[in-house]
Chains A and B, each alone.
Chain A
Amino acid sequence: MTALLEVRDLWVSARKDDGSDQPIVKGVSFEVKPSEVVALIGESGSGKTTIALSALAFTKPGLEFTGGEVTLQGTDVLTMPRQEQRKLRGRRVAYLAQSAAATFNPALKIGEQVTESSVLHGILSQEEADRRAESLYRALELPDPERLGRRYPHQVSGGQLQRLMAAMALCGKPNLLVLDEPTTALDVTTQIEVLKAIKEVIREEGSAAIYVTHDLAVVAQIADHIVVLYNGAIQEQGPADQIINRPTHPYTRRLMAAVRPPPAAGEDAETDEPGQQRPPALEAKSISAGYRIASSGKPLALVLRDVNVAVKRGQVVGMIGESGCGKSTLARVFAGLLPAMGGEIALDGQALAPSLKDRSRDELRKVQIIFQMADTALNPRQRVGDIVGRPAQFYLGLKGEAKRKRVAELLQMVELPAAFAYRYPQELSGGQKQRVNLARALAADPDVLLCDEVTSALDTIVGANVIELLKSLRRDLNVSFVFISHDLSTVASFADEIVVLYAGRVVEQGPVNQVLSPPYHPYTRLLITSVPELRVGWLEDSMTTREAAAGIARAVEISAIGCPFSRRCPLSIEGTCDSELPPIRTPSPGHQIACHRSLGEI
């Protein structure tokens, strides 16, 4: 069978300010056969996106093709005239980007964006394109397909947008799809849905695909052939089954090792001996909070309801749940960024003022927060030394030489060279930026660190390294952590206790090994079974065996009555779950499950 796309000895370089070229992609060759899915896998900086974009004869600004050929059905796309390249894009090769939210034009209706390409290229008339779009919406299991096209991007959810982008790419019936991390930014439960939809549509349409990702477990579900990249060069390539089950290259093995093991009961929690009757480091007592405060002082959208969480000294409390469950809101309530409407926050047993403004400087010092977006949390006009030194001066009064020494110490703590103090944030990589954020938080010498999705925006290996760092800091500094993540495996590997939030309520909490072993709250079970496993065929198995299949696709809805999960729950009891608050069951001391079903049933 002849190849659909053949990449031969591809070189791409970045032009540096001094005029010299720095190669980003170094002599890469691979091919894509018709209706085959080829995965490009590697960390960020491995050149995987750059290689994938070469199929569209496109480079990001600042890069240029410096050698090799990319042959699509017999013609080299790199040397084509501009007009021909434009006609190729969207018609023969279509692109799906990582962040659908940023990739949809906010000013145009969805339907226009989905059909634009095929109408412009003259493949379909506007009417035909609209009909095709509608049938794709149906195939991708999107709600309200008849009217979806007339809505604007901000009116649909993130997971829906991601599927809409698949519709956009498929509308012109391309021969080749280029998928750039299409599920990375999604919740596990949404990821399954999108993966399944994409996989089915690719199979039905018979188009080939290049799938770019850093996640091996995802690749295992979708790829026929895998190309492993590191630093712009191919390390290893072969059939999916071979790469996943019998990797030969050491780098591939390292990638496999960095894949978080599927969540399972962790090692026994070592600490937490009885007799430690000190008050928790940080405690939320019946907290309720919401946004969009009306003039009457009451929030219009209540996000958290009656949340009780205690963070013991030196312990890590992991907080999980899909987006929209109120995890970040709780962190903001702890930090005082969002004053709670009801309930109380206690630090060391002492009540804390709900709002930041009313807390003393020492109280502020003790609770520090680290945000998900390492980028936007750092002031681009300040040097790392100033960013880290500022809290040391503000909270601890360090000046001059003492401050400089402290900054060096902190940078060493987060495993960065002391010379980084003189750099600006944009000179650092994503992982390094997050380390600077961590150093900034540690500079205040806090009792509690609130980590809000701190590794979610990072690559597998980089993220795993940051977690290792957090673990060692925890041993050395006796700091308590509130660790928020939608990634169950990361939480399982780091936390002592887990709090499962759903729609602003705690549905289950307790020590890690108890939460992650039966009896489960039905929502916890859904989360656990949604984490992709590193084996071929897992996606199909999970779709057929999943008792909760009906419940996955739904968005998180916040409701005031009944169990918040009742509408997605496979075990829901009509008339009870949707109208009465569930009782709290305690299978063992410290382990709580809020469910109407008895422990035996779940």
Chain B
Amino acid sequence: MWQLAFRRIAIGFLLVWVVSVLIFAITQILPGDAAEIRLGQDATPESLAALRREMGLDRPAYVQYLVWLERLLSGNLGVSVAGGATITSLIEHRIGNTLFMAGMVSAIAIPISVTIGLLAAMFPGGLIDRIVTAATLGLVAVPDFLVAILLILILSVQLNWLPAVSYLSGTESFWQTLRAMALPIATLVTVVAAQMIRMTRAGVLNVMNSPYIEMAILKGVPRRRIILRHALPNAIGPIVNIIALNLAYLVSGVVVVETIFAYPGLAKLMVDGVQSRDMAVVQACGMIFCTTYIVLILVADIAAILSNPRLRHPK
């Protein structure tokens, strides 16, 4: 079993490396290099060449890649084109915000989703199940920006309960921060929970057709214990996977929601980076997103392996 887990981890490292090559290659292919961007319209060929030499852009691509990789690993990513702050400090600030948001959303969404999913699976076709299925199906079909705008319309514009914008200056108290973030959190919880509920329900129901569940019924085991003790342990794999996918989405895929609420998160930093053609920021954000994705999927895979007694206790 450990061999299996280690192999997964090794593959994870390999993937992160492949991603770094891809990200570097893509920014190389884009027209215009960092020197052109920095000098802008008034570049003369001489000043361009001078700046390229200074920035090391005249060296072969693989050398540039290695230099970039070394900087990436040591956390020294240089200075941002706009603003002039170091990229590392920019990211440090934003990553905190993003992780805080992702953490709050997961802390609310995961327990709620798993509970609702299990409730729906307990009596398939019953009233609760039908309501849950219809509601989640509807929510899965609605794009996140629409949910966000609807929530703003109702809770901020009409009822005036919560602020529509979540801009943080860094001086707010914890409660002020929470209040500012309430709407984006609510939006994201709605979006992620729908998927997780559906997957939990499907995963458990899939197991509920097994002969061993029928046996549990015939042993007189109460419904709730059947779901929690007999079905859930066999459905852990798919559930953990969908949770991991949604967590990854919370870190990297929330650009639209962050933009709508003007929340200073990592995804918004990347979008701003693209607008100001700040390649170093885009590369760094890309690396962080991809690595998060890989790490979370890896964790889910390993959790699925650990939850399987056949792998945990070989013959």
Contacts and interface: CB of A to CB of B under 8 A. Distances in A.
Contacts of A121: 220
Contact of B230 (A53, A94, A105): A105
Contact of B218 (A87, A90, A104): A90
Contacts of B218: 53, 56, 58, 89-90, 95
Interface of B: 210-212, 214-222, 225, 229-230, 233-234, 307-310, 313, 315
Given A107-B308, A108-B229, A108-B233, 12 more contacts: A89-B218, A89-B220, A90-B220, A90-B221, A91-B220, A94-B219, A95-B215, A103-B211, A103-B215, A120-B225, A151-B313, A152-B310
A299 to B, nearest CB: 17
Nearest to B234: A107
A108 B230 contact: yes
A518 B17 CA distance: 70
Closest 8 pairs between A and B when the two form their complex, measured CB to CB: A89-B220, A90-B220, A107-B233, A90-B219, A117-B219, A102-B211, A105-B212, A95-B218
5 contacts: A90-B219, A95-B219, A116-B219, A120-B219, A152-B309
A152 B315 CA distance: 9
A105 B216 contact: yes
A106 interface: yes
A106 B307 CA distance: 11
A97 interface: yes
A155 interface: yes
Contacts of B309: 106-107, 152, 154
B315 A154 contact: yes
A154 B216 contact: no
Contacts of A53: 218
B211 A117 contact: no
Nearest to B210: A102
A168 B212 CA distance: 13
A154 B215 contact: no
Contacts of A116: 216, 219, 221
A95 B309 CA distance: 25
B123 to A, nearest CB: 12
A357 interface: no
Contacts of B307: 107
A500 to B, nearest CB: 27
B211 A97 contact: yes
Contacts of B234: 105-107
A108 B309 CA distance: 8
A99 interface: yes
Of the listed residues B214, B218, B220, B308, the one surrounded by the most CB atoms of chain A closer than 10 A to its CB is: B220
A89 B219 contact: yes
A88 interface: yes
A108 B215 CA distance: 13
Given A97-B211, A107-B234, A154-B309, A117 B220 contact: yes
A185 to B, nearest CB: 12
Contact of A87 (B210, B215, B220, B308): B220
Interface string A144-171: 0000000110110000000000001000
A88 B233 CA distance: 26
Nearest to B230: A105
A88 B217 CA distance: 11
A155 B313 contact: yes
Contact of A99 (B211, B222, B230, B315): B211
Interface string A390-428: 000000000000000000000000000000000000000
A116 B216 CA distance: 9
A238 to B, nearest CB: 29
A97 B215 CA distance: 8
Contacts of B233: 105, 107-108
A117 B216 CA distance: 8
A197 B215 CA distance: 21
A15 interface: no
A86 B221 CA distance: 7
A58 B217 contact: yes
Of the listed residues A58, A88, A105, A108, the one surrounded by the most CB atoms of chain B closer than 10 A to its CB is: A105
B41 to A, nearest CB: 61
A88 B218 CA distance: 9
Contacts of A106: 212, 234, 309-310
Contacts of B308: 107
A89 B217 contact: yes
A331 to B, nearest CB: 24
